[in-house]
Every structure is written in C-alpha cells, then in structure tokens.
Chain A
Amino acid sequence: GEDVEQSLFLSVREGDSSVINCTYTDSSSTYLYWYKQEPGAGLQLLTYIFSNMDMKQDQRLTVLLNKKDKHLSLRIADTQTGDSAIYFCAETSYNTDKLIFGTGTRLQVFP
C-alpha cells in the first residue's frame, strides 16, 4: 500500500522556526494535509495543499511541496510553547479518497 513517513521527534527553542518533514510514495496524490494533535485532544486540520501547488502560506505556517521528490514540509515560524504537539501529515489520492496518515512527529518547544 501507499506509505507516508515522518521523523518521530523534533525539539526546538521558543522563537525559532520549526520544520517538520514528510515523504510519501503515492504518485497520484491529490491533496496533502497537516494535522495537529495536542495532548488529550483529537486531530485538528491545520492546512492542506493541492498537489499541483508548490507552496502555501497561512500566517505562521508555510507548506512546501516537492512533487518530484514526493517531499512535504511544514514550517512554523516563531515557534511557541503552544505549538508543542504531534503533527501528522496525510494524503488522499486519485486512487482512494481515504486519508493515509504518517506516523506523526512529536514537536517539543522549550524556553
């Protein structure tokens, strides 16, 4: 089946930028998503990008997509302690409308 991979942990200092990376194998992806899961809460959709775009910016969030390399990243500018959470990338494709999730990256922000 299709695979979505992420590194497990990222630790950054408050005020720095965070970059969370994701790779996927499905060449027929339509949309790629970033979800955030705070402790004890459900996943929350942060942003998404259509597969024919290469960048999307939304306030402190910047999504970069390299379709050739099947690489997606989420950059969080001026990272705050409230950004500490698990971040999941996910994709849907022309083959299936189902969300395929990565393993999640735990972001820890320290003062």
Chain B
Amino acid sequence: SAVISQKPSRDICQRGTSLTIQCQVDSQVTMMFWYRQQPGQSLTLIATANQGSEATYESGFVIDKFPISRPNLTFSTLTVSNMSPEDSSIYLCSVEKVRRTSVNEQFFGPGTRLTVL
C-alpha cells in the first residue's frame, strides 16, 4: 500500500486567487494522478502527473488553469488558478505503485476540500 498526505485539508478562497495543493507519498511511486470530486458527482480525472516532464491532461482540463508539478517520485502539486465558485470541489491525489498485473490499483489521499467565494 501507500500512505498519502495532502495539504491543505481544506481552504476557503476568494474568487480570482490561486491555491496550490500538495501531495506527499511515503514511498516512490510510478504514477501520480489528480482527481476532482464535485458535490454529488463521481471522481473525474484531471491529469496524470509525470515525473520530469509536463503533466498529461484529460479532455476539458488545461495547464493554464491547473498547472501541475512533479519534481520527484514522491511529491506533486496541483494549482487551481484564477478560481471561481465553480471550482469548489474536493481535489484528490492518487498514486499507483509498480504494476505487476493488469489490475489498476490506486491509493488515494484524503483530499483537499476547496470552497471558492
């Protein structure tokens, strides 16, 4: 398994500002992901954080709005830029360790609950 921590656990922000969320894993992992969980909705993958190169974004998400860094194999950040109330959500970091089978087993952090006023 993997132990994942996220900072901050929650925040209330003003419209137009930016927030950077940190994700720290207790061991080196191959894959790190960022998800959004909007109220009453399922998890949506924002991007895959690639170590040493640019993140891979899913349809509907762009780097200017959600810049991601991954400087090493245990740490990543997601920034939510120029926030609006529609960005109010829970943001989750997840990791996948070395894949030995075709099962996609991911371990999730506790999430960051963001409220934008």
Contacts and interface: CB of A to CB of B under 8 A. Distances in A.
Interface residues of B, number: 20
Contacts, number: 48
B106 A104 contact: no
Interface residues of A, number: 22
Contact of B40 (A42, A43, A103): A103
B108 A40 contact: no
Tell me if B's interface is mostly helix, strand, loop or mixed: loop
B104 A99 contact: yes
Given A4-B42, A33-B104, A101-B44, 6 more contacts: A30-B102, A31-B104, A43-B106, A45-B107, A48-B105, A99-B104
Interface of B: 4, 9, 40-45, 92, 94, 102-111
Interface of A: 4, 8, 30-31, 33, 35, 40-45, 48, 88, 92, 97-99, 101-104
